[in-house]
Amino acid sequence: MTDVAVTENTYELPVVKSELPATSYESIDYDHFLDCVHCGLCTAACPTYAELGNENDSPRGRIYLMRAVRDGRAEMDDTVRGHLELCLDCRACETACPSGVQYGRIIEPFRVAMENELGEESKSSDWFHRFILFGLFPNRDKLRKWLRPARIAQRLKLDKLLIATGLWKLLPKRLGRMVTLLPQLKSEEKPIGNFLQAEGKRRARVALFTGCVQDVIFQHTNHATARVLQKNGCDVIIPQGQGCCGAIHYHSGAEEEARDLADQNLEAFKESFDDLDAVIINAAGCGAMLKDYGHHWLDGSEEARELFASKVKDVHEFLDELGFIPPSGRIEATATYHDACHLAHAQQIQAQPRNLLRQIPGLDLVELPESELCCGAAGTYNLTQPEMADRLADRKIKNIESTKAQLVLTANTGCLMQIDRERRMNGSPFTIMHPMDLLDLSYRGEQP
Ligand code: SF4
Ligand code: SF4
């Protein structure tokens, strides 16, 4: 193995990777458990506790269960596993906790350890994970090809028929849900290119992380994000060779595959990294994952990944810090904003998207009740825990409808798909979009 080189502003990964020690219950820093003083102030913020009222489905209860397993005081049986798998990893408990418990640093490696313990029986060994979540989602070209027949089906309104008749329920469970989660696909756009020049005086040089599902299903949002950055005086580089952030893999326990994807991204951004002010991401789940690259894998390359992570900025966070140049196109509509968990809780970004949206002339931004409560998307949770996902989606829709908003804005791929699915199922009259899409329309003087 060659040495890992990290200087002040650049990094090098080793040519030959060192073996990745499998995460176990014992490898989780015990201090994270000790931080919890069992005060229970987090329970009211927890969506599963709010729905079920069961202490074992609360953050305090789950921390207690995980510590008991770690201490050897409890068996990892189906009951304990059930309570832990029902956790959305939304991290609302972190926001609520006055003691600074980093719940994500406990539950995420703990789940990886649970999967490692299961071996061949693990989640990531089943057909759906292998072929769909790991085989299809991270592969943009393959996903694009698979979506072509879906586009034709949507043009023929077969998707609406599938929902109206309930025929989707005849498909294998997770596949059926996945089909209904697919939003109205826009026409494929030309690739964005490698470089877009700042408009006006150059204020920053950034690289855009385009993601996998985001770059296929919400390609228009990536393009809109790049245009908004240009309008704000940013040179935008789109490094080739970048791909999936690895969140789906990591959260399903496939830690080695997740590490490979992370390192592929580090390689892709390496060439331009030195001159970058920021690596920009517009999807909350991917952003949280990229910011966590430095501590997920303990294999000697942590410093390089940490340096990469130190430049990752959510697009709203970045523009708010840079000093946002407001658009001038009026959008006369009532809008509301849903806080994606991995933006509001995992990255503590709540004010910034609202700050930008309030600068759209004509837009009336009203607060959404329980905005920070998970919508049930939570990565692949809506596929693996459909019952709780539906309860939370239903609660979200009721809250949205109470605002009478015409537009719902949220900055995460999963939330966009989950809330839109529920909207279509209910026939609710609002439109959902990413804040960057709305800002882009305002810059261009167009209407949603
Ligand atoms: S996680 Fe925080 S808020 Fe919840 S019980 Fe522990 S110390 Fe209290
Ligand atoms: S991550 Fe979310 S669902 Fe899990 S314990 Fe914390 S608040 Fe509850």
- Which tens digit of pLDDT belongs to each residue from 13-57? 887 788 888 899 999 999 999 999 999 999 999 999 999 999 999
Atom number in ligand 2 closest to CA 88: 3
Domains and CATH numbers, the chain: 25-122 (1.10.1060.10), 125-181 (no CATH), 195-320 (3.40.50), 322-444 (3.40.50)
* Dist. CA 53 → ligand 1 center (Å): 16
Q: Which residues line ligand 1 (CB under 6 A)?
A: 36-42, 59-60, 63, 93, 96-97, 99, 101
Pocket residues for ligand 2 (CB within 6 Å)? 45-48, 59, 62, 87-93, 103
* Closest-lying ligand 2 atom to the alpha carbon of residue 49: 8
- Predicted local distance difference test score (pLDDT) of residue 43: 96
Choice from 93, 102, 103, 105 to test ligand 1 binding pocket (greatest atom count within 8 A of CB): 93
| pLDDT above 70: percentage of residues in the chain | 99
Paired with 195 in beta bridges are: 237
Higher pLDDT, 134 or 306: 306
Specify the residue for token string 């043009």.
155
φ, ψ dihedrals at 205, nearest 5°: -125, 120
Question: Closest ligand 1 atom to the C-alpha of 37?
Answer: 7
pTM of the model: 0.93
Task: Say whether pLDDT at 2 is over 50.
Answer: no
Coil, strand, or helix at residue 10?
Answer: coil
pLDDT at residue 177 greater than cutoff 70: yes
**pLDDT number for residue 1:** 40
- Would you place residue 129 in the very low, low, confident or very high pLDDT band (cuts 50, 70, 90)? confident
Mean pLDDT of 362-376: 97
As separate numbers, helices (DSSP H) first and strands (DSSP E) second, the chain gives 24, 9
149-163: average pLDDT: 88
Q: Where are the beta strands (DSSP E) in 75-213?
A: 195-196, 204-208
- Residue of the CA atom closest to atom 4 of ligand 1: 42
Pocket test residue of 36, 103, 345 for ligand 1, highest count of atoms within 8 A of CB: 36
Nearest CA to ligand 1 atom 6: 36
- Rounded to a whole number of angstroms, the CA Rg of the chain reads 21
Place of tokens 């992380």: 209
Least confident of 77-81, 129-133, 394-398, 415-419: 129-133
**Average per-residue pLDDT for the chain:** 93
For 120-161, list the strands marked E by DSSP.
none
Region 416-429: mean pLDDT is 93
**Residue 208 corresponds to which tokens in the numbers above?**
């855009």
Give the integer Cα–Cα distance in Å for 245 and 262.
6
- pLDDT score of 4: 54
> CB burial class (10 A; 0-12, 13-18, 19+) of residue 325?
middle
Q: Measured from the CA of 38, which atom of ligand 1 is nearest?
A: 5
- Angle of helix 140-155 versus helix 158-165 axis, rounded to 10: 80
Atom of ligand 1 nearest to the CA of 103: 1
Total length of the chain: 448
Quote the ligand 1 centre to 335 CA distance (angstroms). 34
Neighbours of 183 (CB within 10 A): 17
CA of 36 to the centre of ligand 1 (A): 5
- Which of 42, 49, 62, 95 for a ligand 1 pocket mutation test, highest count of atoms within 8 Å of Cβ? 42
- Name the band, by pLDDT with cuts 50, 70 and 90, for residue 188: confident
Q: Determine contact, residues 20/299, Cβ cutoff 8 Å.
A: yes
Strand partners, 204: 234
CB 62 within 8 A of CB 94: no
